Structure 1
Amino acid sequence: MYGVDATIIGAGVVGLSIACRISPSLRHVVVLESEPGPGRGISSRNSEVIHAGIYYPEGSVKAQLCVKGSSMIYAFCSKYDIPFRKIGKVVVAASEKEDASIEELFLKGTDNGAPGLRMLGPKELAEIEPRVKGTCALHSPNTGILDSHRFIKRLESMCIDRGVTFLYNSSVLGLEKTASGFVCTVEDTRRASYCFSSQVVINAAGLGSDQIASLAGIDIDQAHYRIFPVKGEYFRVRPSKQHMIKGLVYPSPEKHLTGLGIHATKDLSGSLRLGPNAIYVEHMDYDVDPKHARDFFESTHAIMPFLEKDDLIPDMAGIRPKLQEKGAAFCDFVISHENSRSMEGLINLIGIESPGLTSCLAIAEKVAFILNEDGLFQVAL
């Protein structure tokens, strides 16, 4: 049977980053992707924001990898000419009853090591965002935006240059543990299936990551690996009002970080959009319900009073792979070598939602460390 060193399941930004990071040290790395190209799922359906690391509990994997990943992704974009801008962000209290949560966010971000944070009063907020109203705000100057599509294509190109094999339109049907690794059973678009062996399997399958873990024999409910898909819609703001916001404008975050609240983001062309909301769904589609424009307007009008409901145009939607059930407490990233489950060589990455884009290069570093630390492969650190 044909064999490879490592198989990465999923060609989103996380899978691509891992492949790019470990391939120089391994003989043969394969990336399996069910879509016809890279980054067709979570990676290309988001706000394209480079986060600073202010929202997540101190010491959490999300906090650590977001802060580290932010500096890494800025350096990568500078080195490889990926368009980006540090346009900054304000997180705004709509009323005095939200002031305490903004101050708490400032302390949390400072403890996490997010750089340059400062509290703003109404006058200072007006100097940064004249059209935004609030009783106080947190300013994060290190938050930015990037061209995620150029970033994805650059990672893919680097992987190819480093000898990585990409198998697109390829769905994983089975993962069988063997003495030397795993037998991977794969099906292509013609319904033809084939098998190969892999010493290491890295599960970076995003929305399907829990099902890949299940294929390997893990009870995903017992392990708390079940994914709960959360849909987020976006509405574009009409062109005549896109200039009224300079950077990124966020409300006080939702309880348990189900989402960061419906916020205003700019893209590199200067276009302005609102989103995402957070809707737990059983069936996944990427349609935007025009009727939700009223909800978007009502949730943002207090801090962005220049907006009218008729300014909002349905744009696009994404789906996040959350580990927390509706109403449950915060859940961290899962990045786990499953040797404690007698599955040496299987590394699961589950629940990699926001800040997954910001963290992707740091996640790849963590996976490389696991490969070294657990004696799977010697990867240059």
Structure 2
Amino acid sequence: MDKFDVCIAGAGVIGLAVAFQLSESTRFKTKKIVVTEPEANFGHHISSRNSEVVHAGIYYPTGSLKAKLCVRGKQLLYEHCRRYDVPFHMVGKFIVAQKVNAHRLATLQGQAAKNGVSDLVWINDNRLKTEEPAIKADYALFSPSTGILDSHSFMQSLLYTAENNGVMFAPYTQIKAVARSTAGFMLDTCITDGKSEQRYIFQAEHFINCAGLDAHHLAKNIDGLSPTHIPSVHMCKGDYFNYSGPSPFNHLVYPIPEQNTQGLGVHSTMDMMGNVRFGPDSEYVDQLSYFVDPRKAKAFAQDIADYFPEISSKKLQPAYAGIRPKLAAEGEPPADFIIQHNDVHGIPGLVQLFGIDSPGLTASLAIGEEIAMALP
């Protein structure tokens, strides 16, 4: 029977970042590590269906995992991109507001400072008109350290480096059950490419559940794990629309976040080619579907018009959708990441990650770093 020191379930950006950080660490560099993934390749779901934004760490409650890991992750992410030639652009972001909401910008600036983000710049309407003539707003905060990256190239660099360090990548591998054993864990898997199936059982001393949208389902199949340590996870769909025509903006543009919602509002981002897209919205769903209803263009245009009056729904074309795993139900305040270790669930060698939504991409390397340091 094959034996590994570490099994990581899920080859999204979090699982790959954990594998990368473990394989780069002194303690695990020579260990046997495997990353399992039910799909044919990495990053098929949450990791490839987001805004591809490198967040600064502005919005999150001070002391939360999201705040701490976003700020640390941003630093690690930019360093990684430079070291491994991952395409990125520190394009900067304007958070815009009208006079009636100017006090909320000031609150955001204070929150950011508490989180260690001290580079925000207050912008008046005259400077905003110079920087972004198409925007209609009275005030803005400018975040110079917010950026964009090619998330596929980033994940590719993580996997390539991890594999060069000896990590094994196992696609088409679905973990069916996780039993406890004297060696740690016995993993019962099914390897299938849609044409044939093969049962494969192996051992691992450490098991890290990075299964994203399926993390809570996988947790239910871990022998001896109390249901009290498996939180409810809610699927929240976010749609994106491409903007047809020349880019109206030079930077990312975000509205003031709506209060008591699960998103940052319909904002403007861009890809590495400078093409603009708007999104995401937030809609709680019961089924996994990535269909974008073209009729939503009118509602998107109404939201965007608050800061970009020249928008026309005719210029919005469906792009893609993403599903985010939310720990907070609809109408509840946003929840923090959950990273469970032995001190929580009482199972040595088990690490569980739940609700890793935004800013998960930015925080990924910091999450991997924390897990690498915490594993015994």
TM-score over 0.5 for the pair: yes
C-alpha distance after superposition, 1:40-76 (max 9, x if no partner): 1111111110000001001111001101111111111
Could you tell me how far apart the structure 1 residues matched to 2:151 and 2:347 are? Answer: 34
Looking at structure 2, the residues matched to 144 and 219 of structure 1 have their Cα atoms a distance apart, in angstroms, of 40
- Partner in structure 1 of residue 280 of structure 2: 276
Residue 3 of structure 1 corresponds to 3
- Deviation by residue 1:102-154 (Cα, 9 ceiling, x = unmatched): 22111111111124102222112222211111121111011000111111111
1:200 and 2:203 matched:
no
- Identify the residue that residue 242 of structure 2 maps to in structure 1: 236
Query: Is 1:184–2:187 an aligned residue pair?
Result: yes
CA contact (8 A) 1:224 1:323 kept: no
Per the alignment, residue 97 of structure 1 pairs with 100
In structure 2, relative to structure 1, the CA distance for the partners of 1:296 and 1:219 (3 Å cut) is farther
1:151 aligns with 2:154: yes
2:77 alignment counterpart:
73
Change (3 A) 1:343 1:63: same
Q: Percent identity?
A: 39
Task: Give deviations 1:143-168, integer Å, cap 9, x for gaps.
Answer: 00011111111111101101111110
1:6–1:30: 8 Å Cα contact kept in structure 2? yes
When structure 1 is superposed on structure 2, of 249-258 and 322-331 the one drifting more is: 249-258
Unpaired segments ≥5 residues, structure 1:
377-381
SS at match of 1:347: strand
**Larger displacement relative to structure 2 (337-346 or 247-256):** 337-346
SS at structure 1 position matched to 2:295: helix
CA distance in 2, matches of 1:83, 1:116: 23
Q: Give the whole-Å Cα distance in 2 for the aligned partners of 1:66 and 1:140.
A: 14
Distance 1:115 1:248 in 2: 19
The aligned amino acid for 2:20 is: C
Q: Distance in 1 between matches of 2:280 and 2:251?
A: 16
Give secondary structure in 2 for the equivalent of 1:291: helix
Q: Aligned ranges for residues 187-336 of structure 1 at < 5 Å? A: 187-189=190-192, 190-216=196-222, 217-220=224-227, 222-223=228-229, 225-239=231-245, 242-336=246-340
Conserved 8 A contact 2:54-2:149: yes
Q: Is the 8 A contact 1:133 1:302 kept in 2?
A: yes
Tell me the amino acid that sits aligned with residue 132 of structure 1: I
Structure 1 window deviating more from structure 2 (188-197 vs 136-145): it is 188-197
Letter in 2 for 1:308: S
AA matched with 1:334: I
> Do the aligned residues in 2 keep the contact of 1:147 with 1:268 (CA within 8 Å)?
yes
Task: Please provide the CA RMSD for this pair.
Answer: 1.3
1:379 is matched with: none
Shift of the alpha carbon at 1:266? Answer: 1.1
User: Where do 1:6-25 residues align within 5 Å?
Assistant: 6-24=6-24, 25=28
Displacement, 1:339? 4.2
What secondary structure does 1:324 align onto?
Answer: coil
Match of 2:142, as an amino acid? H
C-alpha distance in structure 2 between counterparts of 1:230 and 1:281, whole Å: 6
Tell me the CA shift for residue 233 of structure 1: 0.4
- Which residue is equivalent to 2:89? 85
Match of 1:363 among 348, 356, 367: 367
CA distance in 2, matches of 1:249, 1:238: 17
Cα separation, partners in 2 of 1:259 and 1:224, compared to 1, 3 Å:
farther
Residues in 2 aligned to 1:248 and 1:21: alpha-carbon distance in whole angstroms = 30
Residue identity in the other structure for 1:14: I
Deviation at 1:224, TM superposition (A): 5.8
Work out the number of aligned pairs and report it.
368
SS at match of 1:243: coil
1:152-185 Cα shifts (integer Å, max 9, x gaps): 1111110110111111011110011223311111
CA distance in 1, matches of 2:342, 2:332: 25
**Aligned residues of 2:261 and 2:331 also touching (Cα < 8 A):** no
Q: TM-score, normalised by structure 2?
A: 0.95
Deviations 1:6-64 (A, max 9, x none): 00001111111111111252420010001100111111111110000001001111001
Q: Once the 2 structures are TM-superposed, how far is the Cα of residue 300 of structure 1 from its aligned partner?
A: 0.9
Moved more, 18-27 or 130-139: 18-27
Following TM superposition, by how much is the alpha carbon of 1:196 offset from its aligned partner in structure 2, in angstroms? 0.8
2:18 maps to a residue whose letter is I
Select between 9-18 and 332-341 the one with higher mean Cα deviation.
332-341
Q: Does structure 2 retain, via aligned residues, the 8 Å contact 1:115–1:142? A: no
2 CA distance for matches of 1:158 and 1:339? 31
Question: Deviation of residue 219 (structure 1)?
Answer: 4.7
Letter in 1 for 2:173: S
Give the C-alpha shift of residue 218 in structure 1. 3.6
Q: Structure 1 residues 199 and 339 mapped into 2: Cα distance closer, same or farther (>3 Å)? A: farther
- Tell me how far apart the structure 2 counterparts of residues 145 and 10 of structure 1 sit (CA, whole Å): 24
